[in-house]
Amino acid sequence: MGKMIIEARDGISDSSALDYVLAVTQDGRISGNSYCYVTVFHSGVVVSARRNKLSDKFIVYKRGNNV
């Protein structure tokens, strides 16, 4: 496994951000390559996932706010 970067925005706590990213990663990679690009939860929290050669980056923010 490579490096994972998690960026929590909009006052989302680190522990909550980890919970949301865990939910995304538990569903696994799409096509064996990357995680779902954008996941929107009922709570209004959004997780955006990006992958490059060295790491997966997750941005966790509240819906309606820009990435």
> Is residue 28 one of the residues assigned to a domain?
yes
> Is residue 55 one of the residues assigned to a domain?
yes
| Entry pTM | 0.88
Domain residues for the domain of 7 are 3-62
Residue pLDDT, tens place only, 6-27: 999 999 999 999 999 999 999 8
Phi and psi at 48, nearest 5°, equal: -105, 130
> Is residue 67 one of the residues assigned to a domain?
no
Of 61, 55, 12, 16, which is closest to residue 39 (Cα–Cα)? 61
Burial 12-21 (b: 16+ CB within 10 A, else e): beeeebeebb
Q: Is the pLDDT of residue 30 over 90?
A: no
Nearest-angstrom CA–CA distance, 59 and 37:
10
Domain count for the chain: 1
Nearest-angstrom CA–CA distance, 50 and 7:
12
Residue pLDDT, tens place only, 41-53: 999 999 999 998 8
Look-up of token digits 């050669």? 53
